[in-house]
Amino acid sequence: MSIALETKKLTIQFGGLKAVSELDIQIPEGSIFGLIGPNGAGKTTVFNMLTGVYQPTSGQISAFGQNIIGFAPHEITQKGLARTFQNIRLFKDLSVLENLLIARDQSIESKKYGLVSSVLRFPSVMQSEKEKRKKALDLLKIFRLDHRSEEDAKNLPYGDQRRLEIARAMATGARLLLLDEPAAGMNPQEKNALLKTIKFIRDEFKITILLIEHDMKLVMGVCERIAVLDYGVKISEGTPQQVQGDPAVIEAYLGKTEKKA
Amino acid sequence: MSVLKSMSSWLAVGALVWILDFAVMGQMNPYFFSVIMYAGINVILAVSLNLVNGFTGQFSMGHAGFMAVGAYVSAYITTSLQASNPELLMGFQGQVIFVCTLFFAGLMAAAVGYIVGLPSLRLSGDYLAIVTLGFGEIIRVTLLNIEAVGGARGIPGVPPLSSFGWVYSFMLFTIFIVWRILHSAHGRAFLSVREDEIAAQSMGVNTTATKVKAFVLASFLAGVGGGLFAHYLQFINPTTFDLNRSFEIIIMVVMGGMGSITGSVFAAAFLTVLREALRDLQTVTHVDLRMVIYSLFLIILMLTRPSGVFGNMELPDLFKRKKRQEV
């Protein structure tokens, strides 16, 4: 199976602090990969490097066999990586549908048109708009948000907002979805529903998912492989069962057990 | 064909403008007429500024600068033509030359907008406001020091080519293209930058290019507005385009509602008329209270409706809402 995302010796330094140090991960295409670790372990920093927000100090990142270091965030999105945010970042005053359309407009799958065409509304422009709309509505249906398509994003309940953010990332035409704590602040029912959604979109769209999560139950339930970060260093990697049993992971999360005298 | 069909209502209003121009405007009281003309020009300026300040969320305070570029470029061209071969500006030919001049003036303003926008749009919020304010002043002071365009004396004797027809046609043109662009992928990109720049970026929107696009477009329209202004007033000098002018346009945008074309149109027309209407008060009170009342009005409005009269609603939205309530 081919590799969707690979990092080699990925390192970033903020002044004297090495936030992430020599991280190696390999995510096979079509898998759900979890990146976990205690607070401040550097998980979101890794995300920010993958999406072009931070430039790594050294190391390599390649997505679908292509180098993605040195590209601006919007260029990386156009290469097929899309993310969600730990603290939801929707376009709050725009409708649910517009949120998706904005992402769809930029997708490499959509036909682009210039300013003059948008003023004159050539038939090709209308055609492109119609296709984008249809695709957006289809996605909303999958995420069970189609009945709220005209509502302002800010008026959705919390769980729906999280789902909308994932739908919006999907609308970019992403082949690799990066989810930053998608279950943060959700209640158990919402979490269960989210779990199903994540599995469903992977199966339905054959995409790869990298997920950062605090909630152990969610990670164990959905991920096929997990990497554990602590102080910017990968301390363990493997299947959920392997990671769960790894003493290094238990130590990182719960602290060292005192040795008996 | 479908392109023309979708524009039919716009073209119809355009035709109406010219019918009015020929039928009514000649007989009108010159004073009322001048208020109508300034209202039209102010609508162009307010709607174009709203593109940057309201829809893209980038606070620019230098709009008068781009207006000045358009006014000076077009006035310079037509006054030179007037001096060398005046028969060129007569009749139909003159009208064609005037419109071409306006477009050229708009393009020059857009070019200046690009040069100003590229470095300054990396900033945001207060910093951007200060930088654009600075650039607006730079443009004005530069014009003040170019002897070829009259320096502080400005350009007198600009040919009176701005007719009601042209001012209102260009006003319609401005509203039309801003409306159409806002309801396209480009417009949605503008809105996404206003809503959340980081999210916009990670959805694939090139935020810098988007901001520059909005800025250049607004500069173009301001340049056209400036050209119309110069050819109506028939005299321009650098003081015409000082900070006060920029603020005047900002006030219109804020009052109408940042992010509402309808609001900008309404506010620009209303404020232009209000300031003139208050003149009559002076004959009663013998004190010029115009600016006091004008300012008080704005303060009260901002206290009671901080998002402007229309917020981010447009005229069609208001009808839609009414319908929904009826059902």
Nearest to A106 among B2, B204, B213 (CB): B204
Q: Which two tokens stand for residue B132?
A: 């654009």
Q: Show residues of chain A in contact with B191, CB under 8 Å.
A: 91, 94, 98, 102
Residues A20, A75 share a domain:
yes
Residue A212: strand, helix, or coil? strand
Instruction: Calculate how close chain A gets to B137, using CA atoms only, in Å.
Output: 30
Specify the number of domains making up chain B.
1
Is residue B178 scored above 60 in pLDDT?
Answer: yes
What Rg, from alpha-carbon coordinates, does chain A have?
A: 20
Q: Using pLDDT thresholds of 50, 70 and 90, give the confidence band for residue B313.
A: confident
Which residue in B has a C-alpha nearest to residue A171's C-alpha? B203
Is residue A33 scored above 80 in pLDDT?
Answer: yes
Structural domain containing residue A95: 89-171
Beta bridge partners of A81: A176
Among A74, A86, A126, A176, most B C-beta atoms within 10 A, so best to mutate, is A74
Residues A19, A62 share a domain:
yes
Nearest to A119 among B177, B196, B206 (CB): B177
Tell me the C-alpha distance between A49 and A69, whole Å: 8
Return the number of other C-beta atoms located less than 10 Å from residue A178's C-beta.
Answer: 24
Nearest to A78 among B176, B200, B204 (CB): B204
Q: Using pLDDT thresholds of 50, 70 and 90, give the confidence band for residue A257.
A: low
pLDDT tens digits for range A199-256: 998 998 899 999 998 777 788 888 999 999 988 899 999 998 888 888 888 888 777 7
Contact A113 B184 (CB under 8 A): yes
Going by C-beta distance under 8 Å and a sequence separation of 6 or more, which residues neighbour residue A62? A3, A5, A6, A68
Contact B204 A118 (CB under 8 A): no
Return the number of other C-beta atoms located less than 10 Å from residue B201's C-beta.
Answer: 24
Instruction: Calculate how close chain A gets to B234, using CA atoms only, in Å.
Output: 32
Q: Please say whether the beta carbons of A240 and A219 come within 8 A.
A: yes
Which residue in B has a C-alpha nearest to residue A120's C-alpha? B3
pLDDT of A220? 85
Contact A93 B312 (CB under 8 A): yes
Of A141, A171, A201, which marks where a domain is finished? Answer: A171
Q: Beta A176-180 vs A81-83: how paired, if at all?
A: parallel
Is residue A173 scored above 50 in pLDDT?
Answer: yes
Nearest to B186 by CA among A173, A165, A119: A119
Q: Show residues of chain A in contact with B185, CB under 8 Å.
A: 101, 105, 110, 112-113, 118, 129, 132
Residue B127 in any domain: the answer is yes
Nearest to A254 by CA among A225, A226, A228: A228
Residue B317 in any domain: the answer is no
Residues A215, A165 share a domain:
no
pLDDT tens digits for range A35-79: 988 888 888 899 999 999 999 999 999 999 899 999 999 999 999
Residues A72, A186 share a domain:
yes
Is residue A80 scored above 70 in pLDDT?
Answer: yes
Structural domain containing residue B125: 36-242
Nearest to B224 by CA among B261, B184, B177: B177
Residue B211 in any domain: the answer is yes
Tell me the C-alpha distance between A210 and A83, whole Å: 9
Concatenated DSSP letters for B250-275?
Answer: HHHHHHH-TT-HHHHHHHHHHHHHHH
pLDDT of B292? 85
Q: Show residues of chain B in contact with A101, CB under 8 Å.
A: 185, 188
Contact B195 A92 (CB under 8 A): yes
Q: Please say whether the beta carbons of A25 and A69 come within 8 A.
A: no
Contact residues of A toward B, CB < 8 A? 51, 53, 72-74, 77-78, 82-83, 85, 89-94, 98, 101-103, 105-107, 110, 112-113, 115, 118-123, 125-126, 129, 132, 168-169, 172
Nearest to B203 among A77, A120, A121 (CB): A77
Nearest to A172 among B181, B196, B203 (CB): B203
For tokens 């301001």, the residue is B222
pLDDT tens digits for range B278-289: 888 777 878 878
Specify the number of domains making up chain A.
2
Contact A102 B189 (CB under 8 A): yes
Residues A51, A163 share a domain:
no
pLDDT of B327? 39
Angle between helices B185-195 and B164-182 in degrees, nearest 10: 70
Residue B194 in any domain: the answer is yes
For tokens 């020929």, the residue is B22
Rounded to two decimals, the pTM is: 0.91
pLDDT tens digits for range B75-85: 999 999 999 98
Residue B165 in any domain: the answer is yes
Q: Please say whether the beta carbons of A154 and A90 come within 8 A.
A: yes
pLDDT of B224? 97
Residues A197, A141 share a domain:
no
Q: Using pLDDT thresholds of 50, 70 and 90, give the confidence band for residue B325.
A: very low
Residue A247: strand, helix, or coil? helix
The mean pLDDT value of chain A amounts to: 89
Q: Using pLDDT thresholds of 50, 70 and 90, give the confidence band for residue A183.
A: confident
Of A171, A205, A236, which marks where a domain is finished? Answer: A171
What is the ipTM, given to two decimal places? 0.90
Residues A136, A67 share a domain:
no
Q: Which two tokens stand for residue B138?
A: 């730079």
**Phi/psi of residue B62, nearest 5 degrees:** -120, 25
Q: Please say whether the beta carbons of A75 and A97 come within 8 A.
A: no
pLDDT of B326? 44
pLDDT higher for B316 or B58? B58
Helices (H), chain A: 43-50, 73-78, 96-106, 115-120, 123-142, 158-171, 188-205, 216-222, 240-245, 247-254
A-B Cβ pairs (cutoff 8 Å, strict): 101
Residues A71, A32 share a domain:
yes
pLDDT of B324? 47
Residues A146, A105 share a domain:
yes
pLDDT of A130? 94
Is residue B98 scored above 80 in pLDDT?
Answer: yes
pLDDT tens digits for range A109-166: 888 899 989 999 898 999 999 999 999 999 999 888 999 999 999 999 988 999 999 9
pLDDT of B319? 76
pLDDT tens digits for range B108-156: 999 999 999 999 888 888 899 999 999 999 999 999 999 999 888 999 9
Instruction: Calculate how close chain B gets to A33, using CA atoms only, in Å.
Output: 20
Cα distances (angstroms) measured from residue B287 to each of B271, B282, B291, B293, B299: 20, 6, 11, 12, 21
The mean pLDDT value of chain B amounts to: 91
Q: Show residues of chain A in contact with B188, CB under 8 Å.
A: 98, 101-102, 105
Cα distances (angstroms) measured from residue B30 to each of B17, B164, B258: 18, 12, 33
Residues A184, A112 share a domain:
no
Contact A73 B201 (CB under 8 A): yes
Contact B2 A123 (CB under 8 A): yes
Q: What is the CATH number of the domain that holds A108?
A: 3.40.50.300
Concatenated DSSP letters for B167-220?
Answer: HHHHHHHHHHHHHHHHTSHHHHHHHHHHH-HHHHHHTT--HHHHHHHHHHHHHH
Q: Show residues of chain B in contact with A113, CB under 8 Å.
A: 184-185
Give the sheet arrangement for strand A3-14, strand by strand: A17-28, A3-14, A58-63, A66-67
Residues A56, A113 share a domain:
no
For tokens 């509505």, the residue is A137
pLDDT tens digits for range A86-117: 889 999 999 999 999 999 999 888 888 999 89
Residue B160 in any domain: the answer is yes
Of A171, A198, A233, which marks where a domain is finished? Answer: A171
Which residue in A has a C-alpha nearest to residue B207's C-alpha? A74
Beta bridge partners of A3: A28
Beta bridge partners of A210: A33, A178
Q: Which two tokens stand for residue B3?
A: 């392109």
Residue B207 in any domain: the answer is yes
Residues A149, A24 share a domain:
no
